[in-house]
């Protein structure tokens, strides 16, 4: 699988830092954006891309809850039988099976669905840009700097590209199952878009 692109661009970083286009050190900024994006993806356990997954998911009260955000459901198979779209309905990221499908009391369904993010959510992009900005603004990893009567103290998070506890807490909502229900067993990701 090809590496995922950074969650923000150097141009966005320059806008974030309020500097002229081309002013950011391109190599360092690109590397820092890649590192920060990896940290954010690892913490959120989410690639922030669109993808297609196939998983065996539990059926609870006639409802299946794939990991989201759900963009489209491509197929649903129950007890080895591929259901037609008239036998299930998608509403707000959940799949509801029609009553006659539930007569055999199935416990699991194999679902193929498209999910993820078409664009990086603004809060996630902000976390990446903040993490990189801390590193770019303090490239010598100074704890404190004084010039005349002006004194500047950096937080310990500015010593490397890292995430603060508040940023980690904000990323929890993007974890699979955090608000979209149980993921089930993913048997294979069939594509990343």
User: In order along the chain (193 residues), what is the average pLDDT of each group of 10 residues?
Assistant: 88 93 89 94 91 92 89 93 92 89 84 93 95 74 63 52 88 74 42 47
Query: Tell me, what's the pLDDT at 161?
Result: 72
> How many angstroms separate the CA atoms of 176 and 154, rounded?
34
Query: Tell me, what's the pLDDT at 180?
Result: 41
Sign of dihedral through CA atoms 133, 136, 140, 146? negative
> How many angstroms separate the CA atoms of 188 and 52, rounded?
9
Residue carrying structure tokens 């990343």: 192
Beta bridge partners of 112: 54, 75
Residue carrying structure tokens 């004194």: 151
Q: What's the length of the chain?
A: 193
> How many angstroms separate the CA atoms of 3 and 33, rounded?
13
Contact present, 57 and 64 (Cβ < 8 Å) = yes
Query: Tell me, what's the pLDDT at 187?
Result: 41
Contact present, 136 and 30 (Cβ < 8 Å) = no
Q: Could you please report the per-residue DSSP string of the chain? A: -PPPPPSS-HHHHHHHHT--TT-S-HHHHHHHHHHHHHHHHHHHT---SEEEEEEEEE-BTTEE--SSSEEEEEEEEETTEEPPGGGEEEETTEEEE-GGGGGG---EEEEEEEEE-SS--HHHHHHHHHHHHHHHH-TT--SEEEETTEEEE--GGGGSS---HHHHHHHGGGSTTSSS----EEEEEEEE-
Contact present, 6 and 123 (Cβ < 8 Å) = no
């Amino acid at each position: 699988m090809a590496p995922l692109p950074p969650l923000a661009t150097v141009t966005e970083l320059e806008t974030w830092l309020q500097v002229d286009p081309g002013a950011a050190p391109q190599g360092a900024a690109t590397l820092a954006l890649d590192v920060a994006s990896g940290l954010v993806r690892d913490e959120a356990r989410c690639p922030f891309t669109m993808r297609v997954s196939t998983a065996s998911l539990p059926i609870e009260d006639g409802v299946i809850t794939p990991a989201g955000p759900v963009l489209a459901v491509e197929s649903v198979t129950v007890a080895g039988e591929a259901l037609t779209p008239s036998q299930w309905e998608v509403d707000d990221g959940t799949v509801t099976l029609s009553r006659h499908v539930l007569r055999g009391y199935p416990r699991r369904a194999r679902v193929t669905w498209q999910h993820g993010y078409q664009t990086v959510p603004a809060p996630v992009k902000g976390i990446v840009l903040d993490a990189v900005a801390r590193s770019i603004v303090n490239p010598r990893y100074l704890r404190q700097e004084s010039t005349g009567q002006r004194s500047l103290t950096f937080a310990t998070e500015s010593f490397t590209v890292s995430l603060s506890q508040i940023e980690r807490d904000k990323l929890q909502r993007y974890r699979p199952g955090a608000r979209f229900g149980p993921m089930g067993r993913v048997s294979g990701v069939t594509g990343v878009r």
